[in-house]
Structure 1
Amino acid sequence: MPASPSTARVINDRLALRLLQEGGPLTATQLKTLTGLSRPTVADLVERLQGAGLIQVVGESGAERRGPNARLYGIVADRAHLAALDVRTDSVAVVVADLLGVTLAEATLPIGSDTGTETAAEQAAALLEDTAREAGAAPLHSVGIGAPGLIDPVTGELHDTTGLPAWHRRLVRVLQQRLPATVLVENETNLAAVAEHRLGAAQDRDTFVLLWLGHGIGAAVMLDGKLRRGASGGAGEIGFLPVPGTAGVPSAVNCDGGFHSLVGAASVCELALAHGIDVRTRIGAGEQEPAAAFAVRAALAGEGESEAFLSALAERLAVGAAAVASVIDPGCVVLAGEVGHAGGEALASRVEERLAMMSPLRTEVRAGLLGGSAVLRGALLAARDAAQDELFTAGGVGSAP
């Protein structure tokens, strides 16, 4: 059954907005070519989107051309302001941006383990408010938060997870109470996968698994372009995966003995020390680069028994990747997080080679491209998507006259 006129307008308007978002500014003629719509239809939608305050004339397409056909249309970037937070166990990072995702301001705040739950949450919320105010971006429309731990797929709330600071859960409630904004929270590894899919190493892949290799270990599963969170939000809790080569098996409340014990930051540092790469001065020293990432970079620079260390680390990583491949067959695994970023393609190629010996399923292994910014960029994409979904619909776009 053909779409009704009002439904067709919604589809056409949102298509035009997506094209302007991804490739704009564009002229009406370019929109006609890209959408395949008739010239009168494009003229109507341009007028409609301008009337809704979603697009505006931002210039002309060439000095030699003048008139209506030369006008360049672009998204009104300051129609809404967004924010993203990367919430770690001991810090929070904030970025404030416009509707096009252009960064307007950013800030970070260390939060000590001795800071009370209420105080820590209030400090983080104040950091966001101050950063937005200084950028001239208040009030905020949407806020995306990346946090470690499980997110309930039904309620969207952060689970009360053992081992994570209580202020994480409190922060979400504080922001919801203090801001007239949509507040979204998502697992940090899932957001990193979204960012690598849209902006980084997996742009050509709709199905892949991202392994987050940092202080802790996690995975994100992207199938057919969609994140798969699992029945309880626990898809990708690969740190609990029982694997050979550890002293025991994990429990329901502790991942010791699981894949985490093979490739978590502490284990990588122990492996480095065993191969003559001294990371002891960096452990707990507050260095900007984590000790495990430093160990990998040092090995790539030839320090200690570098080849033996990198081969052993690749072997360990391949064990987890092979388990994932045998169940999901993603065709591609992206190594992200501090260790994945430090290892780059050199580590990824070693893991791929070892994985090919363990699994009959062809699986490409790539290094993530976004490094430590992946979580923030994924959170900002989530906030931007939420804002655009609301504005592009609520702004009168495509509605029947």
Structure 2
Amino acid sequence: MSDVATPPSSPVSRERSMQIKRQSVISSARQVRLLSRAELTKLTGLSPATLTPLVRELINEGYLIERGPGTSRSGRPRAMLEFNPRAELVAAVSLEPGRISCEIADSDGSVIAHRTARLGGDIVETVCQFIPELVGESMAALRGVAIAAPGISSGGAVRLAPSVGLVEGRPIGESVQQRLGIPVVVDNDVNLMAAGEHAAGAGSDVADLLLLHVADGIGAGLVLDGQVRRGAAGAAGEVGFLPLDPTARGHDGVGPFEARWSENAVAERVVALRPGRRPESPVRALIELSRTEPDAAAYLDELLAAWARLIVSCVCVIDPGRVLLSGAAAELDDDAVARVQALVTESVPAATEVRRAVLGDRAVLHGAVSYALSAAAGGLPALVAVP
């Protein structure tokens, strides 16, 4: 018999093992919502001896609520456990041109508090003021913060976001994290939209998708194998900078493609075709005008061809299988979407479905919930982690 002693297990390893088991219980309960201890044992693979103290702990923390006995076809009905979505709160912060908004939501994505203000003063100070005020006495339930910015984000720093005053790489994520002491994720707003559509929208049934968002600029969010892909420097999806039009020129942080084919560009053309005030929904206005004005119909053809060309360029590189049209692009009517689909189909090397995104303004919130809960569980390697 060997006299070599077995080294004691590491306390850190035991702690991490228990954290993984705890998260498994939370994730299973969150997914099923109402279940018995026996069902929880089956779902997690944990023994009753391991599960019992975890369940007791989660009941005391408010994650699980004990309910009465459920129905049973045989034997004594089992006591049920219900997951409490209010036990996990997340903060979703959106930086937009001229304003900042903050929403507090539970793990279902239900908003319980909201505030919007003009974008002025220091961003970090504003975020760190809004969140505690909105959360109030439930601060202990706050699991994470997700900050969406219209620029390039890497390691919690944001750059090339001139519309919100962030041109150089300012570490807003690290600053907020140090002040609040909870996990903070900072990402491009379109990445959050893609995550939201993947979690709870038009991409919830697929592992791979590309979300094309058309607004003041044009950006794309990419989900591959169920994960948002950001690139080495956080610049993945900056498709507005693609040089697809030889005559187009970008300026002041605006890419050449988006300078010509963004919502702003469409609005300018619509006003030129029908002088007056800028329409609230330029794409809808263009489609309506195209029904009676040949020049508008010709421009709509150009616009759809340009957006289809952009989609084809992306598909040839990443083969997402599904492309979601977001922002102003989601305002296309059925006929226009079908035309984009036809243009894409005739040019791509693999089958690609084009459809509208469905969450609209709620996409960022659902993406933030997904991000923040993953951050709290240690599932996002790119987040700004709590030291």
Secondary structure in 2 matching 1:158: strand
Aligned pair count?
362
Matches of 1:336 and 1:279 in 2, distance apart?
Answer: 27
Q: Which residue of 2 aligns with 1:397?
A: none
Q: State which of 103, 107, 126 in structure 1 corresponds to 2:129.
A: 126
Give 2:55's aligned amino acid.
L
Q: Which residue of 1 aligns with 2:51?
A: 45
Matches of 1:298 and 1:175 in 2, distance apart?
Answer: 45
1:21 lines up with 2:27 in the alignment: no
Secondary structure in 2 matching 1:221: strand
Secondary structure in 1 matching 2:152: coil
Note if contact 1:318-1:351 (Cα within 8 Å) is conserved in structure 2. Answer: yes
1:380 lines up with 2:369 in the alignment: yes
Q: How does 1:231-310 map to 2 (within 5 A)?
A: 231-244=232-245, 247-250=247-250, 254-256=253-255, 258-273=256-271, 276=273, 278=274, 280-282=276-278, 290-295=280-285, 298=288, 308=298, 310=300
Give 1:369's aligned amino acid.
V
Structure 1 window deviating more from structure 2 (360-369 vs 50-59): it is 50-59
Q: State the Cα distance separating 1:236 from its structure 2 match.
A: 0.8
User: Closer, same or farther in 2 for the Cα pair 1:359/1:160, shift >3 Å?
Assistant: closer
Note if contact 2:96-2:164 (Cα within 8 Å) is conserved in structure 1. Answer: no
Q: State the Cα distance separating 1:180 from its structure 2 match.
A: 3.1
Note if contact 2:156-2:172 (Cα within 8 Å) is conserved in structure 1. Answer: no
1:365 lines up with 2:354 in the alignment: yes
User: Which digits, 9 at most, give the CA deviation of each residue in 1:71-96, with x for residues without a partner?
Assistant: 22133444443211111121112111
Matches of 1:17 and 1:63 in 2, distance apart?
Answer: 23
- More RCO (CA 8 Å, sep 6+): 1
Q: Which residue of 2 aligns with 1:74?
A: 82
Matches of 1:108 and 1:347 in 2, distance apart?
Answer: 34
Q: Which residue of 2 aligns with 1:57?
A: 65
Q: State the Cα distance separating 1:344 from its structure 2 match.
A: 5.9
Q: State the Cα distance separating 1:183 from its structure 2 match.
A: 2.2
Matches of 1:382 and 1:92 in 2, distance apart?
Answer: 19
Note if contact 2:191-2:220 (Cα within 8 Å) is conserved in structure 1. Answer: yes
Matches of 2:300 and 2:218 in 1, distance apart?
Answer: 18
Matches of 1:347 and 1:61 in 2, distance apart?
Answer: 53
Note if contact 2:322-2:353 (Cα within 8 Å) is conserved in structure 1. Answer: yes
User: Which digits, 9 at most, give the CA deviation of each residue in 1:240-261, with x for residues without a partner?
Assistant: 10013x633447x6435x2213
Q: How does 1:63-102 map to 2 (within 5 A)?
A: 69-102=77-110
User: Closer, same or farther in 2 for the Cα pair 1:68/1:156, shift >3 Å?
Assistant: farther
Secondary structure in 2 matching 1:359: coil
Q: Which residue of 1 aligns with 2:305?
A: 315
User: Closer, same or farther in 2 for the Cα pair 1:303/1:369, shift >3 Å?
Assistant: farther
Secondary structure in 2 matching 1:255: coil
User: Closer, same or farther in 2 for the Cα pair 1:108/1:213, shift >3 Å?
Assistant: same
Q: State which of 318, 335, 343 in structure 2 corresponds to 1:354.
A: 343
Q: State which of 325, 337, 357 in structure 1 corresponds to 2:315.
A: 325
Q: How does 1:145-156 map to 2 (within 5 A)?
A: 145-152=147-154, 155-156=155-156
Q: State the Cα distance separating 1:332 from its structure 2 match.
A: 1.5
Q: Which residue of 1 aligns with 2:40?
A: 31
Q: State which of 95, 117, 120 in structure 2 corresponds to 1:109.
A: 117
Matches of 1:350 and 1:314 in 2, distance apart?
Answer: 8
Q: Which residue of 2 aligns with 1:191?
A: 192
Secondary structure in 2 matching 1:259: helix
Note if contact 1:340-1:368 (Cα within 8 Å) is conserved in structure 2. Answer: no
**Uncovered stretches (5+) of structure 2, i.e. residues with no partner:** 1-8, 380-387
Q: Which residue of 2 aligns with 1:287?
A: none
Matches of 1:68 and 1:388 in 2, distance apart?
Answer: 36
**Uncovered stretches (5+) of structure 1, i.e. residues with no partner:** 284-289, 391-401
Structure 1 window deviating more from structure 2 (362-371 vs 74-83): it is 74-83
Secondary structure in 2 matching 1:26: strand
Secondary structure in 1 matching 2:232: coil
Structure 1 window deviating more from structure 2 (98-107 vs 215-224): it is 98-107
Q: State the Cα distance separating 1:197 from its structure 2 match.
A: 0.7
Matches of 1:70 and 1:299 in 2, distance apart?
Answer: 63
Secondary structure in 1 matching 2:340: helix
Matches of 2:127 and 2:289 in 1, distance apart?
Answer: 37
Secondary structure in 2 matching 1:229: coil
Give 1:281's aligned amino acid.
R
Note if contact 2:207-2:225 (Cα within 8 Å) is conserved in structure 1. Answer: yes
Secondary structure in 2 matching 1:295: helix
Q: State the Cα distance separating 1:223 from its structure 2 match.
A: 1.5
User: Closer, same or farther in 2 for the Cα pair 1:99/1:330, shift >3 Å?
Assistant: closer
Give 2:254's aligned amino acid.
C
Note if contact 2:106-2:112 (Cα within 8 Å) is conserved in structure 1. Answer: yes
Q: State the Cα distance separating 1:378 from its structure 2 match.
A: 1.0
Matches of 1:110 and 1:293 in 2, distance apart?
Answer: 27
Q: Which residue of 1 aligns with 2:3?
A: none
TM-score by length of 1: 0.77
Task: Calculate the aligned-residue CA RMSD, in Å.
Answer: 3.5
